Structure 1
C-alpha cells in the first residue's frame, strides 16, 4: 500500500479497529500517522505475560498520566480520554505480544475488547484510534484498503 493510500485509510475513523500491522511496516505507519497529526505510540510486550506487567507496559508506552490505575477499567478510561495528549487521533502499535497471546489468551482477548471499546468511543466522535499488532493472530483483521 502506498504512503498516500495508507494516510487515506488512517484518517478514516469509520474503518478503525484492531489490526495486523500492514505489510508496509512500522516505519510507514509511523510516517503516515505523523503526516496526519495522529499521536503514535509503540508498546513492547516483550517478556511480559502477567496482566499487571502488561498493564504497566501499556501505561509507560502510552505515556499515561500518573493517576493511571493499572487495571482494565483504568486502561479504558485513559484510552477514551486523551485530553492530556491532544492530537487529531491516535495510533497504537503493540509489538511482541505473541507470548501473551499464546500463554494467556483470555487476557489477550480482554485487552483487545478494551481496545475495541475505546475505538468505538473515538469513532463516535469522528476521531481515529488505531491499534496494530506486529503479529498474525486469529481475530485480528487485515488493514482495509482504498481504491
Structure 2
C-alpha cells in the first residue's frame, strides 16, 4: 500500500509514495507486476507496457495529489535485461510527461540504482 507523505505536491494534496524494491526484479514481467502491486493497480491491469501507461495516467483509485514511485535497486533489472529496463523506464517517463500539467494529479518516478546485483 502506498504511503501518504505529509508534503504537498504542487498544491494538489498529499504526496502518495510507493516504493518498489528492485533487488529481486530480474524480468520485465516481474517489474510490471511489482509496479502494479505497489501502486494498487485495479484487477483489470494487464501487466504490459500499454496497461502500465494507462494506469499511471489515471491513478483515480488513489487520493488526489502527487503519486511518487521510488524504484530502489533499479540497476538490477538494467544489468539483467537492459532492453526491458529501457522500455519500462521510457513508459514511466512518458506517463510522467502526460500528467505533468494535470490539475488533479501528478505522477513522478525516482529511479535509484543503489546496487547492481
Q: Give the Cα–Cα distance (whole angstroms) in 2 for the partners of residues 34 and 96 of structure 1.
A: 25
> Cα offset for 1:65?
1.1
Alignment of 1:1-147 (within 5 A): 33-36=5-8, 37-126=14-103, 127-135=105-113
| Structure with the largest fraction of helix | 1
With the length of structure 2 as denominator, give the TM-score of the two structures. 0.80
- Extract unaligned runs of 5+ from structure 2: 9-13
Give the superposed CA RMSD.
Answer: 1.9
- Extract unaligned runs of 5+ from structure 1: 1-29, 137-147
Greater gyration radius: 1
| Structure with the largest fraction of strand | 2
Higher relative contact order (CA 8 A, sep 6+): 1
Count of matched residue pairs: 106
Q: Is the 8 A contact 1:44 1:61 kept in 2?
A: no
With the length of structure 1 as denominator, give the TM-score of the two structures. 0.65
Q: Give the Cα–Cα distance (whole angstroms) in 2 for the partners of residues 86 and 121 of structure 1.
A: 18
> Cα offset for 1:34?
2.5
SS in 1 for 2:23: coil
Q: Is the 8 A contact 2:49 2:88 kept in 1?
A: yes
Q: Is the 8 A contact 1:43 1:62 kept in 2?
A: no
